[in-house]
Amino acid sequence: MPDDPVAVMSKAWIYQAEGNLHEAAKLLNNVSAQTDSPEILSVKIAQLRLERNFREATRLLQSPLAQFHSGAWYSPTLSVALAFTQRLAGDLADSKVTGEQMRNTLKELFRDQPDDEYLAAGLSQAYAVLGEKDSALKAAEQAIMLLPSAKDRQWGPGLEENLALIEATVGENSRAIKTLTQLLHTTYNSYIYGEHPITPALLRLDPLWDPLRGDPAFQKLCEEKQP
């Protein structure tokens, strides 16, 4: 990695947000399972997902998870990402096992820390992977109530973005598109995409939004002028 990994991470996020996966890939070329930064790993994993290289993303996720201490903030985050990636790869049995583990872990953590909006958001994703629609929506909405946009305009909308992901995953397509329409015109720190908000390019490229692709309203969002 170059001397300033934070700068590399930031530039890679920007390239991804612009849809320039080629330049992002060059910056992230040396990121591997041995990279001891969960933040930079998350950028690499996003890159592999955007490239639809689910097998490599799964491999990269599994290696650090075997090393990180359970209970650290990034372990549940990466584990939920693993469950989603396994699901995208078609490994439904493995995705279910990972999702169940994370649901149980995050339920316990959230029970002990009921004011932690990010635990609620992670729990909502675990429920969504498992197809537990009502619980997923409830947890995602709970995360928003814990940190509403009116209270925090920088980080609050990221939890609305998470709700859009949950809505898309569980089949509430119209609600997801309505939420995404608002977010495309909002400046905030993303819950899914690091420090940059969602963009039309990310909607266009990211398989997380594939459930919405057949809707003309979503297709219109993907064609909007880049913010």
Taking CB atoms within 8 Å and a gap of at least 24, the contacts of 158-164 are 158/188, 158/189, 158/190, 158/191, 158/192, 159/117, 159/121, 159/191, 161/188, 161/190, 161/191, 161/192, 161/197, 161/198, 162/121, 162/124, 162/125, 162/191, 162/192, 163/124, 163/137
Q: Is the pLDDT of residue 78 over 80?
A: no
Does any domain span residue 49?
A: yes
Does any domain span residue 126?
A: no
Could you give the CA distance from residue 154 to residue 151 in angstroms, rounded to a whole number? 9
Number of structural domains, the chain?
1
Does any domain span residue 62?
A: yes
Domain that holds residue 59: 1-67
Residue 20 has what DSSP assignment? -
62 or 208: which carries more pLDDT confidence? 208
For the stretch 46-55, pLDDT in tens is 999 999 999 9
Does any domain span residue 88?
A: no
Does any domain span residue 42?
A: yes
Mean of the pLDDT values across residues 26-32? Answer: 90
* Average pLDDT across the chain, whole number: 90
Does any domain span residue 167?
A: no
The pLDDT of residue 34 is 79
- pTM here is 0.91
Residue 193 has what DSSP assignment? S
